[in-house]
Amino acid sequence: MYFALLDFYDAIMDFMNRGGPVLWIIGALLLVKWSLIFERVWYLHSTHAKRVKQTLATWAGRSDTRSWRAQQIRHLMISEVSLDLKSSLPMIESLVVVCPLLGLMGTVTGMIEVFYVMAFTGGGDAKSMAGGVSKATIPTMAGMVGALSGIFATNWLKHRVDRDLELLEDHMS
């Protein structure tokens, strides 16, 4: 078991080193992005359910639910729940957008290394250029995978938030 974990760690470190320093930045960005996504999922399954129950109980305990003032209070209560639900979504969406841009930056830095090797060796040493090509393609791939997975997670979160807010509005009418 220990040796399998050690081999896994060595493979990850080899991959990260072949991708260059931009891949480390993409890795850190993905760690932050997925931490925010998992925090939102945790919030939806734990704190949000309690918050909705509390809001519905407060609304049900009101004697006046039909007047203009009561409707404004209802709107305020729904808005507060909405703000709590959507608090991290803009940051997650921004990180999703930055992923392919960092991948592109990795492509550029890798190609600069390829051109440097070509200028230094005269362009005939394909083996020397392979490291630069690796540093050009691996960050691109990592940025695209990070963006695509983030798009799916963000769309799921947005759909879930919209659905929960509609249900809250329906229960409070």
User: Mind listing the pLDDT tens digit for each residue in 80-125?
Assistant: 999 999 999 999 999 999 999 999 999 998 888 888 877 777 766 6
Answer whether residue 7 is part of any domain.
no
Answer whether residue 118 is part of any domain.
yes
Answer whether residue 2 is part of any domain.
no
At 38 the pLDDT is 97
Residues 6+ apart with CB under 8 A from 160: 44
Answer whether residue 125 is part of any domain.
yes
First vs last Cα of the chain: how many Å apart? 57
Answer whether residue 10 is part of any domain.
no
Count of the separate structural domains present in the chain: 1
Answer whether residue 99 is part of any domain.
yes
Q: Which two tokens stand for residue 85?
A: 């639900």
* Residues 139 and 105: beta-carbon distance below 8 Å: yes
pLDDT bin (cut points 50, 70, 90) of residue 28 is: very high
More confident: 139 or 4: 139
Alpha helices in the chain (DSSP H): 2-19, 21-45, 47-60, 68-85, 89-121, 126-171
Full domain range(s) for residue 159: 21-172
At 49 the pLDDT is 92
pLDDT bin (cut points 50, 70, 90) of residue 127 is: confident
pTM: 0.85
